[in-house]
Amino acid sequence: MAVSLVLGACSSASNAANTGAEKAANEGTTANVSKTVHDTFGDVVIPAEPKNLLVTNSSYAEYLIEMGIVPQMVLMTFEVEPEYRAPYFEKHGVKMIESDQYQYNYEQLLALSPDLILTQGGGMEKTVYDELSKIAPTVALNTNSEMEAAMPLMAELFDKTAESAKVLAENEEKVEQAKTKIAQAIGDKTVLVLRVESTRYRYLGSKAGDSSKFFYQTLGLHIPEIFKDSEDWFTPFSLEILPDIKPDYIFLEERALKGYDASQSLKDLENNPLWQNMDAVKNGHVFR
């Protein structure tokens, strides 16, 4: 700015000086439309105001919208998404791109012509990041899908710190209300989250991240004693130990993905005498 004023005041300045001022102005404009941020894999230059933002994590896209930023596109694995999410994105004009879980079709993403890709860095391999970065500048947030962890990082990325703080505070209030209601309803009774897959059964541990943290830490639910020290997200187990688990309530998830059928495993579970003799089953405390 100071250089421009000086040059403007000096009417006798040479053409070379004017050319230099023009170059400086252009460089200043470039600096204004891009910025350097730090993610899981290092520094990356991104557009300051992306026009065709692709988000690979549907939870991230929801967080952005709640902060007042509407991404243009989001990858969706419809079989595992909560029912409200697709109508929510449709309401906000976000284009939903069907995608296999944990897999990217790079040709498909390239055809979308994003100018920025926002993805989860936690657990991502560098080779995957490199492939995404060939398509567009990619920011891999150094965290998982937890709202409390991811939203502040996105807020910093898009200068939405105040909006993020407001959303998180409102969410915390809702969580506390839900936690109180749950405690009043079931007290210290135990809750098992059981996932039925095509070739195995797995339970949700209480000391991992994402949904594990939400169920057993945020909402304050109690895991059956036999699993209290598990630090894994979902751990395989044998149906032979069903009598030893003794949960008061069971949340049952039939894993449903494209080309992945768990219906027979579910039938096998429901026909198993050990399952049928569980108190939670006999008391009608199984929820799907």
pLDDT at 258: 66
Give the residue with greater pLDDT, 161 vs 4.
Answer: 161
What is the SS3 string spanning 229-282?
CCCCCEEEECHHHHHHHCCCEEEEEECCECCECCHHHHHHHHCCHHHHCCHHHH
Give the residue with greater pLDDT, 114 vs 17.
Answer: 114
**d(C-alpha 36, C-alpha 240), whole Å:** 54
User: What percent helix, strand, coil does the chain show, rounded to 5?
Assistant: 45, 20, 35
CA 130: distance to chain centroid?
20
| pTM of the predicted model over 0.85 | no
3-state secondary structure at position 53: strand
**d(C-alpha 261, C-alpha 271), whole Å:** 18
Structure tokens at 73: 């596109």
CB contact burial 223-259 (16+ within 10 A = b; e otherwise): bbebbeebeebbeebeeeebeebebbbbbbbbbebee
Region 143-157: mean pLDDT is 94
pLDDT tens string 2-19: 333 333 333 333 343 344
Per-residue confidence at 268, pLDDT binned at 50, 70, 90? Answer: very high
pLDDT at 261: 84
User: Which element (helix H / strand E) includes 55?
Assistant: strand 53-55
Amino acid at 279: D
Helix and strand element counts for the chain (H, E): 13, 12
pLDDT tens string 23-68: 444 444 444 589 999 999 999 999 999 999 999 999 999 999 999 9
